[in-house]
């Protein structure tokens, strides 16, 4: 018991002590990014690209007899499905884009987004020390939006790559990039969610953050507090065109796997079942006797596909892949895509009200592989790939080859042909395969114009294409 003469003084001392100590205990410990920025910024690069596109005065500058305002031109020029060779008053117009990237290998390899360098004729990389270097595109994978560039230079700084599997919601992260062209801008925030699947990007388990990301940040690194790269900033969800609080990054583990495949093989190999799927709605779940709407409902199985060989049927609901839950239909492509072709997967399937396990040997995605012909690029200026059956049905054609690359100075580029077009017929002869196309070209005389039937996004039209002499 405290003696009365001293009790008041003792209590006053205790109160003063608490008043002094409490603010110190309650003071928030916010992260300091200065050291991270000093060490990481030299390896973050600004990327600018340019390409030449052919513009028709009648198709792009005029719409309904009126000139299209300049602000809308970027949207209309490439989306009007006009015949690439037939419009008058055609000229070339440079297109430029800005993005970010980072050096992850001292030999000059740079990681960025595929959409930053898509269809670029020239790629320029600017370092923090103001060096400007011409970059070569090693490869790009649009399904994950990852691209790898190569520059030739000495004494290049590099970034340390972390492990995105260890990320936790609420963790502090920072981004360095070039929003709107402003070099080496730094923003920070926290991880809002992990393993996000976006409707058009089902092969990536995105990291969602509240880090301020704007146009120009694309392709730049996302760091943890240890200064390690844990993601590549890729997209934002916006209604205004600018940052609105939701940013998405590609996990570095996913990006590095893609980058290594692009460096070593030139393409990305991913698993394939050969099934068409749809979400399980609440009503469908009830009709199948399911307690909740989950899984991926198989609507169609491609004949001769791994799914057919493994015994999958239309009406099956895939609930798990090797023990990993398929909580939504969009989860299935990612889980299968991560599986190496030739490996077996155990699928937990609901069939006729009964749950069973079906083992399927995963195949390789039909578009993958180096089996694309150069299509005699010296004479025609294109690279092509075979079409799979699913693509043919989607386009409503039974033959053709997809154009995957167009040489900027080639005859095809001069005629307005671009990557993604399908070459259906050369002259009067259907094109069945890249090998057949190459053989057909060897029989054509030099400098001869031939009619070429193209399919672009389901629309078909002819263009006159002049065959080169191979010089």
Residue 179 near residue 213 (C-beta atoms within 8 A): yes
Nearest by Cα to 221 from 365, 112, 345: 112
Of 59, 60, 97, 218, the catalytic one is 218
Q: How many CB atoms lie within 10 A of CB 273?
A: 30
Q: Is 115 a catalytic residue?
A: yes
Pull the structure tokens for residue 175.
């981004």
Q: Is 77 a catalytic residue?
A: no
Residue 89 near residue 101 (C-beta atoms within 8 A): no
Cβ-proximal residues to 19 (8 Å cutoff; 6+ apart), any chain: none
Q: Is 218 a catalytic residue?
A: yes
SS3 content of the chain, % helix, strand, coil (to 5): 20, 35, 40
Of 105, 115, 192, 328, the catalytic one is 115
Give the integer Cα–Cα distance in Å for 232 and 217.
9
The CA–CA distances, whole Å, from 435 to 261, 279, 401, 457 equal: 25, 39, 10, 24
Of 77, 141, 145, 183, the catalytic one is 145
What is the number of residues in the chain?
Answer: 471
Pull the structure tokens for residue 173.
């992260």
Q: How far is CA 218 from the centre of its chain?
A: 11
The DSSP letter of residue 411 is H
List the beta bridge partners of residue 62. 67
| Residues tagged active-site | 115, 145, 218
């Amino acid at each position: 018991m405290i003696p009365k003469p001293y009790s008041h003084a003792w209590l006053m001392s205790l109160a003063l002590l608490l008043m002094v100590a409490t603010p110190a205990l309650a003071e928030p410990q916010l992260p300091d990014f200065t050291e991270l920025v000093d060490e990481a910024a030299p390896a973050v690069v600004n990327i600018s690209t340019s390409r030449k596109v052919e513009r028709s005065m009648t198709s792009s500058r005029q719409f309904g007899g009126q000139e299209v305002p300049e602000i809308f031109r970027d949207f209309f020029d490439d989306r009007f499905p006009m015949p690439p060779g037939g419009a008058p008053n055609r000229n070339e117009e440079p297109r430029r884009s800005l993005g970010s990237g980072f050096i992850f290998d001292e030999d000059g390899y740079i990681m960025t987004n595929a959409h930053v360098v898509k269809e670029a004729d020239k790629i320029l990389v600017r370092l923090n020390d103001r060096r400007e270097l011409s970059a070569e595109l090693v490869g790009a994978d649009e399904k994950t939006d990852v691209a790898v560039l190569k520059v030739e230079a000495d004494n290049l700084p590099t970034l340390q790559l972390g492990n995105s599997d260890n990320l936790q919601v609420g963790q502090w992260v920072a981004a360095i990039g070039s929003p709107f062209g402003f070099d080496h801008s730094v923003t920070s925030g926290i991880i809002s969610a992990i393993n996000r699947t976006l409707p058009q990007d089902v092969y990536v388990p995105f990291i969602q953050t509240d880090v301020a990301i704007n146009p120009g940040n694309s392709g730049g690194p996302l760091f943890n507090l240890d200064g390690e790269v844990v993601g590549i900033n890729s997209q934002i969800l916006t209604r205004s065109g600018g940052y609105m609080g939701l940013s998405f990054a590609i996990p570095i583990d996913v990006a590095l796997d893609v980058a290594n495949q692009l460096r070593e093989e030139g393409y990305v190999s991913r698993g394939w079942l050969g099934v068409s799927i749809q979400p399980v709605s609440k009503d469908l779940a009830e009709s199948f006797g399911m307690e909740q709407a989950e899984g991926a409902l198989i609507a169609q199985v491609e004949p001769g596909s791994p799914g057919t060989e493994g015994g999958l049927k239309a009406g099956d609901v895939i609930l798990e892949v090797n023990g990993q839950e398929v909580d939504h239909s969009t989860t299935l492509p990612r889980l299968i895509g991560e599986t190496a072709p030739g490996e077996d997967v155990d699928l937990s399937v609901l069939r006729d009200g009964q749950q069973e396990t079906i083992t399927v040997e995963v195949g390789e995605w039909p578009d993958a592989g180096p089996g694309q012909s150069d299509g005699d690029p010296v004479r025609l200026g294109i690279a092509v790939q075979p079409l799979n059956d699913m693509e043919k049905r989607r386009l409503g054609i039974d033959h053709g080859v997809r154009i995957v690359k167009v040489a900027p100075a080639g005859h095809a580029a001069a005629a307005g042909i671009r990557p993604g077009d399908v070459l259906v017929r050369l002259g009067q002869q259907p094109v069945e395969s890249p090998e057949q196309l190459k053989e057909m070209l060897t029989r054509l005389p030099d400098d001869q114009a031939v009619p070429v039937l193209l399919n672009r996004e389901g629309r078909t039209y002819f263009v006159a294409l002049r065959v080169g002499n191979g010089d």
